[in-house]
Amino acid sequence: MSYTAPLKDMLFVLNELAGLAHVNALPGCEDATPETVEAILEENGRFCAEVVAPLNQEGDRQPSFWHDGGEVTTSKGFKDAFKAFGAAGWQGVQHPQEFGGQGLPKLVATPCIEMLNSANLAFALCPLLTDGVIEALMTAGSDQQKTVYLEKLIDGEWTGTMNLTEPQAGSDLSLVRTRAVPQEDGTYKLFGTKIFITYGEHDMADNIVHLVLARTPGAPEGVKGISLFVVPKFLSGANGAGARNDVHCVSIEHKMGIKASPTAVLQFGDHGGAVGTLVGEENRGLEYMFIMMNAARFAVGLQGISVAERAYQKAVAYAKERVQSRDLEGSAGPVTIIHQPDVRRMLMSMRAQTEAARALAYVGAAASDLARHHGDADVRRDNQAFYEYLVPIIKGWSTELAIDVASTGIQVHGGMGFIEETGAAQYYRDARILAIYEGTTAIQANDLVGRKTGRDGGEVAYRIIGEVRRTAAELAAGDDTLKAIGHRLETAAAALEQVVAYVVANLRSDIKGVFAGSVPYLKLAGIVLGGWQMGRAALAARQKLQDGAGDKDFYSAKIGTARFFADHFLTQADAYRLAIVEGSGAVQALSEAQF
DSSP string, 191-248: EEEEEEEETSS-SSSSEEEEEEEEB-TTPPSGGGG-EEEEEESEEEETTEEEEEPSEE
The tally of CA atoms less than 13 A away on the side-chain side of residue 32 is 28
Where in 233-361 does DSSP place strands (E)? 234-237, 240-244, 247-252, 263-268, 274-278
Measure the CA–CA gap between 310 and 406, rounded to whole angstroms: 9
Give the H or E element holding residue 163.
Answer: strand 158-163
- 486-510 burial code (b ≥16 CB/10 A, e <16): bebbbbbbbbbbbbbebbbebbeee
Of the candidates 438, 497, 582, 592, the residue annotated as catalytic is 438
Closest CA to 58 of 428, 427, 313, 423: 423
Residues 6+ apart with CB under 8 A from 77: 54, 55, 58, 59
Longest dimension (CA), the chain: 86
Q: End-to-end alpha-carbon separation of the chain, Å?
A: 45
Angle at 460 between CA 523 and CA 355, to 5 degrees: 40
438 is catalytic: yes
Spell out the alpha helix ranges (H) of 103-181: 106-119, 121-140, 143-145, 151-154
Closest CA to 97 of 155, 137, 39: 155
Characterize the bridge pairing of strands 179-182 and 188-198.
antiparallel
The tally of CA atoms less than 13 A away on the side-chain side of residue 245 is 28
Closest CA to 544 of 530, 534, 554, 531: 554
CB 308 within 8 A of CB 349: no
Measure the CA–CA gap between 574 and 528, rounded to whole angstroms: 11
CB 257 within 8 A of CB 432: yes
Q: Which long-range contacts (CB under 8 A, 24 or more apart) does 62-66 make?
A: 62/260, 63/259, 63/260, 63/262, 64/202, 64/252, 64/259, 64/260, 64/261, 64/262, 66/201, 66/249, 66/251, 66/252, 66/262
Residues marked active site are found at 438
